[in-house]
Chains A and B, each alone.
Chain A
Amino acid sequence: MEVRMRIFRFNPEKDRKPHYDVFTVEAQPTDRVLDVLEWIRGDVDGTLAFRRSCAHGVCGSDAMRINGRNYLACKVLLRDLGTTEITVEPLLGLPVIKDLIVDMGPFFEHYKTVMPYLVNDELPADGKERLQSPEQRERFDDTTKCILCAACTTSCPSFWSNGQYVGPAAIVNAHRFIFDSRDQAAVERLEILNDQFGVWRCRTAFNCTEACPREIKITQAIAEVKRAIQTGRVE
Chain B
Amino acid sequence: MAATTETVRRVKVKPNYEMIAWKWMRYSAFALIPLVWIHAILQDVVVGVHAMDLGYVAERWASLFWRVFDALLLGFAFAHGVNGLRQVLNDFIHGEKGRKILNWSLFIFWLAIFLIGAIALIGGVNQQFPLE
Contact = CB atoms under 8 A, between A and B. Distances in A.
Q: Do A and B bind each other?
A: yes
Interface of A: 124-126, 131-133, 135-136, 139, 158, 161-162, 164, 181, 186-187, 190-191, 194-196, 198, 200-201, 203, 226, 228-230, 232-235
Contacts of B126: none
Contacts, number: 78
Given A136-B3, A162-B90, A196 B99 contact: yes
B101 interface: no
A126 B7 contact: no
B2 A194 contact: no
Contacts of B2: 131
Contact of B87 (A126, A203, A235): A203
A160 to B, nearest CB: 9
A230 B19 contact: yes
A162 B91 contact: yes
Interface stretch (B8-16, B50-58, B68-76): B8-16
A133 B2 CA distance: 9
Contacts of B10: 232-234
A133 B13 contact: no
Nearest to A195: B18
Contact of B12 (A161, A187, A203, A230): A187
CB-based closest 8 A-B pairs? A161-B91, A131-B3, A125-B1, A235-B8, A133-B3, A234-B9, A200-B18, A126-B1
B13 A191 contact: yes
Given A132-B3, A195-B16, 13 more contacts: A124-B1, A131-B2, A131-B3, A158-B91, A161-B91, A181-B9, A194-B16, A198-B18, A201-B90, A203-B87, A230-B22, A233-B8, A235-B7
